[in-house]
Amino acid sequence: MNPEQLLQKYWKELYPGVSDHQLIEFLEQLNTEKPDTASGNESDWYKDAVVYSLYVDLFNHDFDGLNNKLDYLQELGVDCLWLLPILDSPMRDAGFDIRNYDRIRADLLGLDEGFSKPEQEDIFGHFLKEAHKRDLKVIFDVAINHCSDEHPWFVEARKSEDNPYRDYYIWSKDTSKYGDARLLFKGIEDSNWESNGNDWYYYHRFFNFQPDLNYRNPEVLLEMSKNLLYWQKMGVDGFRADAIPYLWKEDGTSCENLPKTHTIVKFFRAILDYVKPGTLLLAEACQKPNEVVKYLGKGDECHAAYHFPLMPMMFKAIAAQDCAPIKNTLNPDVTPKIPGNTQWFTFLRVHDELSLELVYVSEEDRKFIHDNYCLKPEWDFRVGEGISARLSELMQRDERKIALAYSLMLTLVGSPVVYYGDEFGKLNDEKYYTEQIKLTGKDDTRFLVRGRIDWNKLEANLKDEDNFHAKVYHTIKEMLNARKQYRAFCRGLTEFIETPDLLSDNINSVLSYFRTQENVQILVINNLSEKAVKIDHPLPDHDLALLYPKGFTMDEGSNTMQLEAYGFAWFLVL
């Protein structure tokens, strides 16, 4: 089936009985703009990526400031920048409330409001050129489920029932409709419906100032496609599709993961591939792995997806000093095999809370993790469903635990995501949290994990080798650059092995595994315990080349290895 036929197939699935003349006109226009080199752009670069996520303004003011730090990022050992929301926004939800899909916020460009598109393309295009010059890919967030209530479409839509944009959103006088859809922002919002000031209500799954888009209207699908294509044409390497499980709504269902949601995602993927294959579509689907893999389809939906359940299980494993939570989560019964051209993205912390939704953790797991990591009342998010704290705070500023957590993330599976500032142990930002409450009118504790980087202060800290931030930074930088040398960390199969602690007879305090790709094999050993452990040499008949040591010693005489509390080691098997 050729690309045009594939898109027509998806169109008919979404809009049975609706003429496809709009789609045909859309494709005819695309054919006049497609680059001649489109067929040569196939790539699975995302499989080998170490991703660094950042807010441009909080990282270093604007794109000029970010340009000045590209060398820092390249030296750190990352090769893909995930720009957290950069599109025009009133900034009531950190930019996830998008006011214009084809405009970057003026402050990030260093321009006054009312700037022209050529000005935008000059500044953002220069940034893309500088990033690509350093072999740094660039992706950014697009909230495709909802927008800001200040978006021109919604401003028009709320004016009257017969406004042309009315059907871009979901309206009802009956707020019991979609009543089986759960409340995502429990403790912050009390309904998925918001009054328009008359008898009508509009539907939203997130904040009340973020109306959901209505994909039952084909014009919405085409308009969103145009927005993605605009940025693709400028040279963006991919998009993080925010909140995709909620795109299609049907009464009497949970309004999550519905079949037509997958059809919408397939349509976006096909459109991007039609113009320039290799443009990443990353699924942000906060679901169980067996549900998330559906967003990878048969290699025809998203190229990659976040492995949400692995994140809390890494925290649980460290707190419980037990490898079982990680092994159980990565068991094929829980984490299914994914198509060969797709990848998991893993993370320890992101811009949101340490999520403990019952969608993918049990009540018992949630209580255990919450009890062990929610160390202050103000870190609580969504009434126990999450913890708003930076990695360094969750690990009580213990650089050994931080390094161990990174060892797990960098070596287990998939492409890892480094959240800006975590590479030097950035702390919760109380000042920024207070500022944002005043700005948004919402007590959203996730603002604690954001905040600005003070580069002058940081650079002074990094020069002091005894400083906490310097210790974390140099450790993480060394680990990232060691990992980059071997694709087995990115693409290899994972095989767990048992390495019981000889000092305690505990079989679960040490998590060990091979990562194997073709003829390259890596051995990783992690001590999850707060005490030193000793294990037998896992491969006594093989030589091992030490790739990265942290609290590790070898006893050649007894052929045993000893790891300090929270120590770990990576080896190349010779």
Active site residues: 242, 284
**203 φ, ψ to 5°?**
-95, 140
Beta strands in 58-170 (DSSP E): 80-83, 87-88, 100-104, 137-143
CA distances from 44 to 148, 229, 299, 416 (A): 33, 19, 12, 15
Token pair recorded at residue 307: 């492995």
Q: Is 499:525 a contact under the CB 8 Å cutoff?
A: yes
Give the separation between CA 324 and CA 320, rounded to whole angstroms: 9
Write the DSSP string, 225-294. HHHHHHHHHHT--EEEEETGGGSS--TTS-SSS-HHHHHHHHHHHHHHHHH-TT-EEEE---S-HHHHGG
Element (H, E) at 434: helix 430-440
Chain-centroid distance of CA 240 in Å reads 7
DSSP 169: B
Give the separation between CA 523 and CA 569, rounded to whole angstroms: 8
Cβ-proximal residues to 255 (8 Å cutoff; 6+ apart), any chain: 178, 180, 181, 205, 246, 248, 249
**151 φ, ψ to 5°?**
-65, 140
Q: Is 499:510 a contact under the CB 8 Å cutoff?
A: yes
Which residue type does 544 have?
A: L
Q: How many CB atoms lie within 10 A of CB 545?
A: 11
Q: Is 482:569 a contact under the CB 8 Å cutoff?
A: no
SS3 164: coil
DSSP 380: E
Query: What distance, in Å, lies between the first and last C-alpha atoms of the chain?
Result: 47
Element (H, E) at 367: helix 363-373
Tally the C-alpha atoms within 13 A of residue 17's C-alpha that lie toward its C-beta.
2
**515 φ, ψ to 5°?**
-115, 115
